[in-house]
Structure 1
Amino acid sequence: MHHTKHGGKDGIRGYVQSLPKYITLCERNYLRALKVLPEEEVGARRQIKIGTMDFFILIESVEKYTTDIKITQQHSLSNHLGLFELAVRLYHDAKVAEVIQHNYHQRVKPSYGYPNPSMHHKDEKYQLNAFLGDWLSACAESGRVPLNWDVNNGLV
């Protein structure tokens, strides 16, 4: 279904319309992130295995209204993939989570659609947070927390 818009500049109108979608994504990511966080104290860390990959979620800072976490991949099977690192801020008053820093450009390339390879997509912010959402969903669905993580809780 394709609807034609009347009046207004398509670019601006399109951007304004995508904002609610972006906010919804960030709200969903906040809820997803809460499910996989270790206890909220600085330095707390949780290991999550997805397939053969080991990821870590580290609590970097805890403030009154925000919590900063860093998601890293410990090692990769092939060197050319490089390490994965994503910094995410949880805003507790607004109940949204947003990517604030990343280093995986060389690895994950959303379709930029620009002739200049160094230019980033105007929807890059959305793509990044959509990627975070996919990753958090994968953690919930297929991520395994190694048994030794809860070694003090009488599981082992």
Structure 2
Amino acid sequence: MDFHKRKRYVPDLVKDMAACDANYIRIRRLFADLDEQDTRHFGLASEHCRASVTMHVLERARYTATLSIELDQLDIGLNWLIWPQFEVRVYHDLATAEVLRVGQSRKLRQVYSLPNPEHYQPDEKSQVNQLLGELLTLCLSHGMATD
């Protein structure tokens, strides 16, 4: 038996689209006036840390919008923790939202082969969309609009 051969990763498109659709709903709940406003700020606080989340419209088109979503840690003791900045495309006609980029990286592909120069996981895009969903859920449950 050859242990060096890996099974090729096949994305679960239904699960991935469900995550993107849920992210669209979360974004619209947090940023209901996305069509008119350019920026939305949220504060997050717990006994362990404080942070701010900024959603900024980078581009608007008839059926889409591109957002920057950034989380900044406000506690001095946790300055070693660097949160990613998400670039998200919101598709109004499809009612879905997908992460295009994280940080300064190139546009994310659906699947990566191993090994790859960026050291991405085969399901990197799925994981990033799930991470965005967790951040948006945190904003919905514990965030306070500061603008």
1:79 CA displacement: 3.0
Structure-1 separation of matches of 2:116 and 2:21: 33
Structure-2 separation of matches of 1:30 and 1:42: 17
SS at the partner of 2:89? strand
TM-score (norm 2): 0.74
SS at the partner of 1:141? helix
Matches within 5 A, 1:41-56: 41=35, 44-51=38-45, 52-56=50-54
Distance 1:42 1:60, change over 3 A: farther
RMSD: 2.7
- Greater relative contact order (CA < 8 Å, ≥ 6 in sequence): 2
Q: Which residue of 2 aligns with 1:58?
A: 56
Matches within 5 A, 1:5-154: 11=8, 15=10, 18-37=12-31, 39-41=33-35, 44-51=38-45, 52-77=50-75, 78-82=78-82, 84-103=84-103, 118-146=118-146, 149=147
Identical pairs, percent = 26
1:64 CA displacement: 0.6
Q: Which residue of 2 aligns with 1:153?
A: none
TM-score (norm 1): 0.70
Q: Which runs of 5 or more structure 1 residues have no equivalent in the other structure?
A: 1-9, 106-113, 150-156
Distance 1:58 1:125, change over 3 A: same
Asked if the contact 1:56–1:71 (Cα under 8 Å) also holds between the matched residues in 2, the reply is yes
Q: Which runs of 5 or more structure 2 residues have no equivalent in the other structure?
A: 1-6, 106-113
- Of 18-27 and 39-48, more deviation after overlay is shown by 39-48
Larger Rg: 1
1:127 CA displacement: 0.2
